[in-house]
Structure 1
Amino acid sequence: MTGVGFLYPGYSAEDDYPVFERKLGGGVRLHVVHTLMREDAHRVDALLDVGGSDVLGEGARELRDLGVDAAVWACTSGSFVFGPDGARAQAEAVGREAGAPASSTSFAFVNALRALGIDRVAVAASYPDDVAERFVEFLGAAGIGVAAWSGRGIATAAEVGTLPGEDVLDWVAAGDAPGAEAVLVPDTALHSAAVLDALEDRLGKTVLTANQVSVWEGLRLAGAAAPRDGLGTLFRAGTPVSAPPRR
């Protein structure tokens, strides 16, 4: 049994992970450890606190006790706000405390795009614009072009977690752009496990969501990401990542 651990801030769409586990079809256990969120706010200062070393260190030690094979900091905004170097140091610290290879959702997006050979995207972000811009900058630093991006301006993760599936389909479709090979939806507070194939059917192209790439990244680090159906193009493709892992 392969065990992958996720450090998940607060409570919003953590119930996506049992759905992913069921859809993966056995042989994998996804462990979710909730980390402290002192303030639920899509605001840079609050996000820097959410991803602080004290908070993640405590959660990572819980993952060590669970004996996980890989660990993922499952918070896009709580990683990319630190910039590429800060996010890399953050993931490395999680790995040391967890005693396992580690990454974060921000790097999971980058590695997923590399695995699929995609280098130009659109971004449909739930965040306010100033936070969404930081994600666009993070992608740019990794050599990924952004054809268009939009921020929905939602102030809290709790509100994002209440968005219904039909609303998500319409909103993500509106965020698509000509020339984009894929649409990225960067918020682990958004429920997406049940709508991945519907999103791709609607747009006619690859859609990558935060919880989806987080699970894929954890399985990749654990050496257990064989191709699987029902979870979008990314999972059907498996893990042919040519670039070194981002940790």
Structure 2
Amino acid sequence: MTALGILYPGHSAEDDYPRIEQLLGSDIRLDVVHTDIGEDAHREDALREMGSAIRLAAGVDELRLAGADAVLWACTSGSFVYGWEGAHQQIRDLARTAGLPASSTSFAFVHAARELGVRRVAVGATYPEDVARLFADFLRAGGLEVTGVRSSGIATAAEVGTWGEEDVLTLARTADDTGAEAVLLPDTALHTAAHLPLLEKTLSKPVLTANQVTVWEGLRLADRRVNEPALGALFTRQPIVQA
């Protein structure tokens, strides 16, 4: 049994995780603990507070007692707002507190893109433009080329959580461009787990979404590989052999 501990801020699209767990099979468990979101605002100061060490540490004991093999901070904006080095420190602190391997959704996007062997990516962000630009900066610091950023200007995670399939498809379509090898949809408040096959069929390229890459990152930390086409190209490709 592989158990992944998911620290999820508030309540928006956490039902993506039991859906993914069901697809992965009976020997993988996703334990979700909700962290205190504080002020629900896609604003840099509020996002920094959401990802503070004190807020993350509050949920760690429950995950440790549940037998987690790795801990994931399931929040993109609450990690990349710290910048590349700051987000590394956030994860080092989380790993030290938990006594377990740890990562975040922001790093999961970079690692997933590397796994697929793609370098040029387009971003479809629910966030306001200034926050979306910070995510693009983070990706560039991770060695990716961002071909374009589409911002939806949504101010809260609660509103993002109400989006349905057509909203997600529209965001992906408008973000896509011919120069991108993959499209990235950050924001763990966005329901995407049920839409991955349709997204990739529509765009004819890999689509990486926040809750999808978070689970994949946890499996990577636990040294597990799972083939599940319903979760997109990320869960079907063979590992990239680095020269």
Q: TM-score, normalized by length of structure 2? A: 0.97
Unaligned runs of 5+ in 2: none
Instruction: Tell me the secondary structure at the aligned position of residue 237 of structure 1.
Output: coil
Task: Flag the 1:160–1:241 CA change in 2: closer, same or farther, 3 A.
Answer: farther
Distance 1:192 1:40 in 2: 20
- Between the two proteins, what is the percent identity of the paired residues? 58
Q: After superposition, what is the alpha-carbon deviation per residue over 1:5-37, rounded to whole angstroms, capped at 9, x for unaligned?
A: 110000000000000000112210000010011
Instruction: Tell me the secondary structure at the aligned position of residue 4 of structure 1.
Output: strand
Unaligned runs of 5+ in 1: none
Residue equivalent to 2:179: 179
Is 1:6–2:23 an aligned residue pair? no
> What is the CA-CA distance between 1:62 and the residue it aligns to?
2.1
Instruction: Tell me the secondary structure at the aligned position of residue 20 of structure 1.
Output: helix
Task: Flag the 1:9–1:222 CA change in 2: closer, same or farther, 3 A.
Answer: same
Is 1:136–2:147 an aligned residue pair? no
Are the aligned partners of 1:75 and 1:104 in contact in 2 as well (CA < 8 Å)? Answer: yes
Aligned residues: 243
Residue equivalent to 1:203: 203
Distance 1:90 1:240 in 2: 27
Q: After superposition, what is the alpha-carbon deviation per residue over 1:114-164, rounded to whole angstroms, capped at 9, x for unaligned?
A: 111111000000000000000000011111001111110000000000001
Counterpart residue type for residue 143 of structure 1: G
Residue equivalent to 2:155: 155
Distance 2:44 2:238 in 1: 34
> What is the CA-CA distance between 1:60 and the residue it aligns to?
1.9
Q: After superposition, what is the alpha-carbon deviation per residue over 1:194-237, rounded to whole angstroms, capped at 9, x for unaligned?
A: 00010000001010000000000001101122322211000112
Residue equivalent to 1:32: 32
Are the aligned partners of 1:115 and 1:242 in contact in 2 as well (CA < 8 Å)? Answer: no
Residue equivalent to 1:49: 49
Are the aligned partners of 1:220 and 1:239 in contact in 2 as well (CA < 8 Å)? Answer: no
Distance 1:20 1:223 in 2: 18
> What is the CA-CA distance between 1:242 and the residue it aligns to?
4.8
Task: Flag the 1:27–1:112 CA change in 2: closer, same or farther, 3 A.
Answer: same
Residue equivalent to 2:168: 168
Distance 2:142 2:151 in 1: 20
Instruction: Tell me the secondary structure at the aligned position of residue 193 of structure 2.
Output: coil
Is 1:116–2:116 an aligned residue pair? yes
Distance 2:65 2:239 in 1: 27
Are the aligned partners of 1:74 and 1:211 in contact in 2 as well (CA < 8 Å)? Answer: yes
Q: TM-score, normalized by length of structure 1? A: 0.95
Task: Flag the 1:188–1:238 CA change in 2: closer, same or farther, 3 A.
Answer: farther
Task: Flag the 1:238–1:12 CA change in 2: closer, same or farther, 3 A.
Answer: farther
Are the aligned partners of 1:64 and 1:97 in contact in 2 as well (CA < 8 Å)? Answer: no
Counterpart residue type for residue 59 of structure 1: G
Is 1:62–2:62 an aligned residue pair? yes
Distance 1:167 1:25 in 2: 29
Instruction: Tell me the secondary structure at the aligned position of residue 183 of structure 2.
Output: strand
Distance 2:12 2:242 in 1: 34
Task: Flag the 1:239–1:188 CA change in 2: closer, same or farther, 3 A.
Answer: farther
Q: Which segments of structure 1 move beyond 6 Å, counting only runs of 4 or more? A: none
Task: Flag the 1:2–1:240 CA change in 2: closer, same or farther, 3 A.
Answer: farther
Distance 1:240 1:234 in 2: 11
Task: Flag the 1:221–1:242 CA change in 2: closer, same or farther, 3 A.
Answer: farther
- Of stretches 24-33 and 220-229 in structure 1, the one that deviates more from structure 2 is 220-229
> What is the CA-CA distance between 1:238 and the residue it aligns to?
5.2
